[in-house]
Amino acid sequence: MSNQMLMYFMIVVGALLGAILIAYVILNKKMKSKETKYIAQLVEGTKTSSFSMDIFYQKLYIYCAKIPFLRRYVLKIRRRLEIINLEDEYLTRKQTAQIIFKGLIVVIPLTAVIIFLSKNNTILMLTLFLFELFFIETFMEGMVDKIDNQLLRQQIDMFGEMRHSYHEYNMVEEALYDVAQNDEVEVSRQVEKIHEVLLSDDPETELEKYYDIAPNSYLKEFAGISYLTKEFGDRKDKDGASLYLKNLNNIVQEMQLEILKRDKLDYVFQSLSMIAAVPILFLDAMKGWAIGQFTFTRQFYNGTGGFLMQMAIVIITILCYIFVRSLKDNGSVNTTRNVENPWQKKLYDKKIVKKFINYIMPKDGTKEYRKIVSLLKDNASKLKMEWLYINRVTCSLIAFFVAMFIVFETHQYAINYVYTEPTSDYNLLGNMSEREEKTAMQKTEYDNVFLNKFRNNRNITKKQLQKEIAKSEEYGEESESEIETITERIWKKLQIVQSEYLKWFELLISCVVAAIGYQAPVYLLQFQKKMRQMEMENEVMQFQTIILMLMKIERVNVEMILEWLERYANIFKEPISRCVNNFESGAWEALEDLKNELSFAQMIRIVEGLQSAVESIPIREAFDELDTERNYYQEKRKESNERLISRKSMIGKVFGFAPMVILFVFYLIVPLCFIGLTSMTEAFKAMSSM
């Protein structure tokens, strides 16, 4: 390379180095500018750390949704939360995973402890797992109820903000938009949805869609009143106050009463579910204590009587727990059932099952069919007739197999008692020493030799048994009188062992239990119907509030009021729906038919007011007493809630404490007294014969 070429190369390299240096200085200045720093902060804010709980919950949701047992709980919780969170899939999954995660934190160590403590006792392990299942159900339901109650409290704050915004803008749409800007609370999504409904091209249709997904009736009322105010305008009441704001105040008062009612119900029932399930935990501990302190009770607790009493307590505990859970219905969101494709539908789609269910199901038009349909309607149940009969057959089969299991286990307990209990002639009121117990167990082992030998020989006689005992290695050296005593003892044991087989009356008892199981779903519906009847007065008072809000709005007629009552009805939904369907064919006649279907006096009074508004007087005058006696109705509503809570509390305590009472009275006190008195009587007879 020439010197000239080398010089050109060095000039080019120097120029490139200079350009790079100049570019570095310029970029360094720009990097230190305010705009660049701001962008860097924004980018930094979007970066996630190496571990994020939000990402963890999203991954946990996906993982748990794939596991069969956990999937049931995931879907059950999700169905309630997705209504509250309204189209926010991310938050729904997060909250579902949070509840599942907290449940797993409790369940996993609890399961390990149960397995460790009861690894040698299968029955105890099953009962403890049953208690664990009850506990996790109560825990998860409480977590979801807490979120639902939180939404209700947020609504009260939201209505306060709505009043201020409406005063400022004097337009419903603008006030809704202003309130919906608060993204920190869940209720903002509901307000935003209502705002979208009111601004849509077909608000009536969109409003009906929103009614189907609204988490509670108060948001339905708020959406409906907002729509009517937007369409027909606001007007001043006779005292000069805004009718829209006054209606908002009425809804707030309803919500405050509902929150107080829920808080009191939660306080009353917060521990009743667990109290109803707790006796399962003490079965084995109480049995061990009783045998340790009073040896004469061993025959009862280790025999068939103790086992049957244990099974009875377990079954009663399950029933009481179900009743307490059904009784504690605070009106929160409850859409845990899959009504589109439940397991009953999948089972009914099987050809053989469908043929059998259609055969046993009452035919349409029969008295039994009308009775079951009426019961389902009275409960506002989403079950179809065939699904109910699937439940009945399933409960019947479960009851039969459980009864048969108990029967076989009872026989096994009796046989095991004969084979394992110490054989001794000591006084039942006393305790054996360690030496006496060792001698008694040796006798039991000797007796078991003959039991095993002749257990399946039903033709053996007592004389043949005595000959076998006399020439045996175990008792061959005993005296003749001792041989007779031993023969009598082993003969009694042999009779017990040979008699422990399935008998015809035990099969009959299992069939009776199956028949009771077949009726159980119907009994549960009847129980729920009774509980719903207790809510009648509360629902009628809610109807009065709805009428009070609607009667002062122009262009509101009787048919519109009936449609609103149908929308918020629960107990009276079916008769009101029939009245709405028949209204066009004759308003007075439809209302008269509705009145004839009702038996509740306060609801009949509302129907009579609607009849008056149809023919003679305006709606405002027909229900004028609702406005003038508003304070009275509010106090009456409070008193009604107090009575409702008091009645539910009384019934709940009966079911909640019943298993505990049965545990102490019939599993501890009664056996102690009865066996003690029997043993004393036998001891006195033995002493008197000496």
pLDDT digits (tens, 9 = 90+) for 393-430: 999 999 999 899 888 888 888 888 888 777 765 544 55
The 3-state secondary structure of 97-112, one letter per residue: HHHHHHHHHHHHHHHH
Q: What is the mean pLDDT of residues 271-279?
A: 81
Q: In whole angstroms, give the CA distance from residue 332 to residue 144.
A: 9
Q: For residue 336, what pLDDT band results from cuts at 50, 70 and 90? A: very low
Q: In whole angstroms, give the CA distance from residue 203 to residue 201.
A: 6
Of the listed ranges 527-531, 563-567, 661-665, the one predicted with least confidence: 527-531
What is each CA distance from 687 to 287, 682, 683, 690, in whole angstroms? 30, 9, 6, 5
Provide the residue ranges of all domains of the chain, joining segments of one domain with +. Answer: 57-117, 338-533
Could you say which DSSP state residue 295 is in? Answer: G
Q: What is the mean pLDDT of residues 382-386?
A: 83
What is each CA distance from 642 to 79, 265, 448, 601, in whole angstroms? 31, 10, 65, 20
Q: What percent of the chain lies above the pLDDT cut of 70?
A: 87
Q: In whole angstroms, give the CA distance from residue 70 to residue 378.
A: 33
Cβ burial, residue 122 (10 Å; 0-12/13-18/19+): exposed
User: Model's pTM, two decimal places?
Assistant: 0.72
Q: What is the mean pLDDT of residues 310-320?
A: 86
- Is the pLDDT at 386 greater than 50? The verdict is yes
Could you say which DSSP state residue 236 is in? Answer: B
Q: In whole angstroms, give the CA distance from residue 330 to residue 627.
A: 28
CB 313 within 8 A of CB 279: yes
Question: Closest Cα partner for 402 from 519, 523, 318, 514?
Answer: 514
Secondary structure class of 170 (helix, strand, coil): coil
- Count the Cβ atoms, other than its own, within 10 Å of residue 420: 11
What pLDDT is stored for residue 11 in this prediction?
Answer: 67
Per the prediction, the chain carries an average pLDDT of: 80
Question: Closest Cα partner for 620 from 562, 555, 572, 567?
Answer: 555
What is each CA distance from 333 to 9, 38, 185, 525, in whole angstroms? 81, 45, 18, 19
Looking only at Cα atoms, what is the longest distance across the chain? 142
What pLDDT is stored for residue 335 in this prediction?
Answer: 41
What pLDDT is stored for residue 119 in this prediction?
Answer: 73
Crossing angle for the helix pair 243-269 and 122-169, nearest 10 degrees?
160
What pLDDT is stored for residue 13 in this prediction?
Answer: 56
For the stretch 188-221, pLDDT in tens is 888 888 889 888 888 888 888 888 888 888 888 8
What pLDDT is stored for residue 686 in this prediction?
Answer: 65
For the stretch 423-478, pLDDT in tens is 765 544 556 666 777 777 778 887 888 888 888 887 888 888 888 778 777 777 77
Q: For residue 181, what pLDDT band results from cuts at 50, 70 and 90? A: confident
